[in-house]
Amino acid sequence: MNQAFELNELDKQMPNIFAQCDTLYFDFGENNELDQKLFTWIKQLKKQNRIGKRVPEKLHFLAPIVAQMRLYKDSIEKSLMREAGRISVLAHKTAMKYAQQHNHEAQVTAKLEYTMHQHGSERTAFGSIVASGANTCTLHYRENNQSYNNNVLMLIDAGAEYQGYASDITTTFPTGGVFNEEQKAIYQAVLNTHNAVLEQCKPGADFDSLHALSCRQICIELRKLGILQGEVEDLITNKAYQRYYMHRIGHWIGCDVHDVGNYHDGNAWLPLQKDMALTVEPGIYIFPNKDLDEKWWDIGVRIEDSILITEKGYENLTPGLPRTVEEIESFLAT
């Protein structure tokens, strides 16, 4: 910065600074008080036109320009996101083991977030979700205040922030160390969907095509289990999956966990390109339903990774977690 002024000089100095500019970039609509100040300063300049002061000829909305820049991660940003991912993975793995030794969501939350801070994270990237049993079916469960027993699933959706960059991971695992048959079946269905979507994460794909793929795969999986009935195409057309999968496949990630940036340019979905970062997070959530066998009730599974688009595919920014049924059970047994 070439100059600095006392804050009480703001109204005096800003018109002078504006008078030196042809173009003004501003984040309109974010702060009503600042919006009013901006137009007051411009009005002051217009009154001084006769003494040679000029008004910026162009006003540009700043947010879309910055958002477009933030879509693409440079080498330093990628390094910071990898470190945020590393810390997050370590915290998730620690929490998975800790959950077997305790019986309250708050205890697991404390261990999870302590581990993040212990390894260099300044703060969590968002409010951690630590949900057990029926709570796994609530998408944005934040209470984290229930006790649980050792035969339910636990869903942890949490990420560390590291030097201003976010990570976002969801793990789902059995608190008793072993999946029962229904838990295993739903977990495998989500994992199959997660893997199918990851295979298509490459330049040229877009969020809509990835989401459509996830909806199709979930319909296929739930039909195999008898939870949905009918032809796959009809299930997709009728959006039968929405009863069990009610959110999108993912979001941009970077300086914010739900980072800025358009998904659609007004005419078409924005194609993924090298150095864009996003999450992939399919899920299945089964609330009590009189039309469905009770054995499926209160099973919620989500699997999420943060990824970076590369020249030909993707890089997982959150590697190292046990993901298959066998890997999870083996990890929890050690």
pLDDT at 281 over 80: yes
Residues 6+ apart with CB under 8 A from 305: 169, 194, 198, 279, 280, 281, 316, 317, 318
- pLDDT of the residue at 28: 87
- Please list, in sequence order, all residues whose beta carbon lies within 8 angstroms of the beta carbon of residue 69, skipping any fewer than 6 positions away: none
pLDDT tens digits for range 257-268: 999 999 998 889
Average pLDDT in the 182-195 region? 98
Instruction: Write down all domains in the chain, each with its CATH number in brackets.
Output: 7-67 (no CATH), 72-333 (3.90.230.10)
- Buried-exposed string 105-124: b where 16+ CB fall within 10 A, e elsewhere: bebbbbbbbebbeebebeeb
How many separate helices (H) and strands (E) can be counted in the chain?
9, 13
Please, what is the end-to-end C-alpha distance for the chain in angstroms?
55
pLDDT band, very low/low/confident/very high, at 327 (cuts 50, 70, 90)? very high
pLDDT, residue 180, reads: 98
pLDDT of 213 reads 98
Q: What is the pLDDT of residue 50?
A: 72
Average pLDDT for the chain: 96
Amino acid at 158: A
In this prediction, residue 266 carries a pLDDT of 84
Residue 142: pLDDT above 90? yes
pLDDT for position 54: 85
If 0-12 CB within 10 Å is exposed, 13-18 middle and 19+ buried, where does residue 242 land? exposed
For range 268-287, the mean pLDDT = 98
**pLDDT in the model for residue 170:** 98
pLDDT at 51: 74
pLDDT tens digits, 208-236: 999 999 999 999 999 999 999 999 999 99
Lowest mean per-residue pLDDT among 87-96, 171-180, 262-271, 294-303? 262-271
* pLDDT score recorded for residue 1: 83
Q: How confident is the model at residue 262, as a pLDDT?
A: 93
Confidence of residue 53 (pLDDT cuts 50, 70, 90): confident
Distance, C-alpha 270 to centroid of its chain: 18
CA distances to 19, 201, 214, 237, 250 from 197, rounded to whole Å, are 52, 7, 6, 20, 11
Inform me whether the pLDDT recorded for 96 exceeds 90: yes
Please check whether residue 316 is in contact with residue 169, taking contact to mean a CB–CB distance below 8 angstroms.
Answer: no
Confidence check: pLDDT of 49 > 80 = no
Residue at 160: amino acid letter: A
Cα atoms found within 13 Å of the Cα of residue 50, Cβ hemisphere only = 1
pLDDT at res. 280? 98
Give me the amino acid identity at 151. Answer: N
pLDDT band at 11 (very low <50, low <70, confident <90, very high): very high
Q: How far apart are CA 144 and CA 106, in angstroms?
A: 5
Percent of the chain with pLDDT over 70: 100
> Angle at CA 195, nearest 5°, toward 189 and 196?
90
